[in-house]
Structure 1
């Protein structure tokens, strides 16, 4: 894929939190196009872990942003589940409320973290970097 194709290729971002205000805050902070060479983004919002698993299983998701504080299934446990169950899972960014929880995010195999509340100056860069890396990843075929 050329650089021109990367900049015009839409990306699908799955956003998981049981709280609509968290989903709104993330979408607002990241925006529809986090960088000139990434996007535009299509958002898929999920309020339950089952919705996340179904959406990832269906394919077409480039990045998951999962709320580490979601209830009843937290984003860290869900990240670990996807790591174990999905052969070519999308990149994962975890929303964390406390910086000391970064080690848990690392344990769950998330590629990145975003502190909550989400900083609109930081979030677009993190999302853009993850999407760029996702485009460059080789596709794993079973």
Structure 2
């Protein structure tokens, strides 16, 4: 089951099914089936509660929708595959080579090459770092 249910209205059927799925997952895969870290927006996995209390909290307060990887409930986090890592490294190499082509010597006044290089640097950095605003 995907985790889109975490964004649904607490009264929806999807949310209800998601809570049941989560509870089964947490009891089966967690460290202690009797005391479960509560992922509600109030507890944020800092408190361990009984399964009944966790369920009540999830309906009363809602689940913390930023809790994507259920690491406190036994979910294994997978590492990015090597092809993604290779693409990321390739982009970093491009960015790095572009940076060094620009150079740090601005005394020659040759800005005709520097400006396009800086544009490429900005474009690649925004792709590497989605939070970067240009």
Instruction: Work out which structure has the larger RCO, using CA pairs closer than 8 Å and 6 or more positions apart in sequence.
Output: 1
- Look at both structures and tell me which one has the larger radius of gyration over its CA atoms: 2
TM-score, scaled relative to structure 2: 0.22
* Higher strand fraction (1 or 2): 1
